A and B are shown apart, each in its own frame.
Chain A
Amino acid sequence: MSYFREEFWGDFLFAEYEDFRLKSPGYAIIAVPDAGLVGVIGASHIIKALGMREVGGIDSYIHLPPIAVISRKEVRLPVRIFYRDNLLLIYSEFIPPMHALPQLVRALVHYVERKGAEYLVLMSGIPIPNRFEVDKLRTYYIATTPKALELVKGVDIIPFENGYLVGPYALLLKESVRLRFNSIILLTESFMEFPDPEASARNIQIFSKITGLKIDVKELLEQAEIIRLKARDTMKNVVHNLAQMRKEYEYAVPLHI
């Protein structure tokens, strides 16, 4: 593996192993660990299901822990970039430290736009304390522009009207609003502290509907328990990061709406 191109956005190195540009309409997904690892579990399934190619990665010797990902004998960067046709997917199993998030988030939104993405789709979990008892999961959405809102027309999901979002996805939404970028976040009810592949599957089904990209979730649901077993260490570390970010604010009711 050698770099085709590399550039720095602030303290972050964006490396590409080959040249690529999204076909139209271009969609981007950014998946980082959050409640129930819903985003990363879903993204990992999408990469596999669509046979996406790893075309680049992001690193920072200043802001990210000194990590190298070893994948099929190859050394990869901690934040990985996958691509196929009109879909770009940025994937990380690590949450960058809080002080680095604003800079990284800004760079990510600029990057996906420059690669030809017209929409940014974020998929995460919305933790509910009684998840243990709930079988039918509800999905909420937040759109940053009227064009992004068009995506969910006719899809059976609920607008998230009032409340708080805490973590990297909150920053990605704010940055999208600032840059008038078409972003939408899908938030499916999930566990906070346990990996939740069922919530990931529900997000993917909605993602398929709004983008027209066919992604079967049968295998994801069949493998749900194996994924829960595999994800234990990642989840354990992420829970610690989420607590530092005061993720529990999401349970709070805003006093003024």
Chain B
Amino acid sequence: MSYEDEFDRLIKRIRELEKKTWEYIESEMRRAFTEVRREFESVERMLSPSWSHDGYLKPLYSIRDEGNYYAIYIDLPRVDEGSIDVRFKENKVLIRAKLKERMKLSPWSGRGGEIGFTEYREVIEVPVSRIDPKRVKVITRKRFVKILIPKD
């Protein structure tokens, strides 16, 4: 092998290493930004009430990494199961579901006063680039909803 070939191989290897290093830095930066954003969102969620003056409640939910898919668990007590409406937009899950009856917080708390709540509403972001609705499974059990979203 000539010196030129050896040199070309070395340059190629350096470029490959450079590319991999940049890819690694980019993915780590993206991960760090996502974590910081999630932390901000979590603090924001904590500081805002789980109900709105517009008459809707925000449900409790959690997202779990379950191997080949993400599982979203949503707690929907007193929901009318027939009214659960789950839609997808890019990497977001939009959920809306009617309560069995109009609810008020007034028997339990001075806050929220006379607002009547009639439904749940939430938008949940999932760490995938785009959700394919055809590959999503929605399971309802005892006023809980489990949504299985395959990873990219």
The total of chain A residues at the interface (CB under 8 A) is: 20
Q: Is there contact, CB below 8 Å, between B42 and A132?
A: no
Q: Is there contact, CB below 8 Å, between A226 and B77?
A: yes
User: How far apart are the CA atoms of A229 and B119 in the complex, in Å?
Assistant: 12
Count A-B pairs with CB separation below 8 Å.
Answer: 48
Question: Is B143 an interface residue, CB under 8 A from the partner?
Answer: yes
B120-152 to A contact mask, C-beta < 8 Å, 1/0: 000000000000000000000101101000000
User: How far apart are the CA atoms of A228 and B46 in the complex, in Å?
Assistant: 17
Question: Is A136 an interface residue, CB under 8 A from the partner?
Answer: no
B interface bracket (residues with beta carbon within 8 Å of A): 20 to 34
Question: Is A230 an interface residue, CB under 8 A from the partner?
Answer: yes
Question: Is B55 an interface residue, CB under 8 A from the partner?
Answer: no
A132-B146, A230-B108 given; A236·B45 CB < 8 A: yes
Question: Is A70 an interface residue, CB under 8 A from the partner?
Answer: yes
Q: Chain A: interface secondary structure?
A: helix
Question: Is A193 an interface residue, CB under 8 A from the partner?
Answer: yes
Question: Is B49 an interface residue, CB under 8 A from the partner?
Answer: yes
User: How far apart are the CA atoms of A182 and B83 in the complex, in Å?
Assistant: 50
Which A65-97 residues have C-beta < 8 A from chain B? 70
A70-B110, A230-B108, A236-B46 given; A193·B60 CB < 8 A: yes
Q: Is there contact, CB below 8 Å, between B78 and A194?
A: no
Q: Which residues of A contact B64 (CB under 8 A)?
A: 129
User: How far apart are the CA atoms of A194 and B88 in the complex, in Å?
Assistant: 24
| B interface residues with partner A (beta carbon < 8 Å) | 42, 45-46, 49-50, 57-60, 62, 64, 73, 75, 77-78, 103, 108, 110, 141, 143-144, 146
| A interface residues with partner B (beta carbon < 8 Å) | 70, 129, 132-133, 193-195, 224-230, 232-233, 235-237, 240
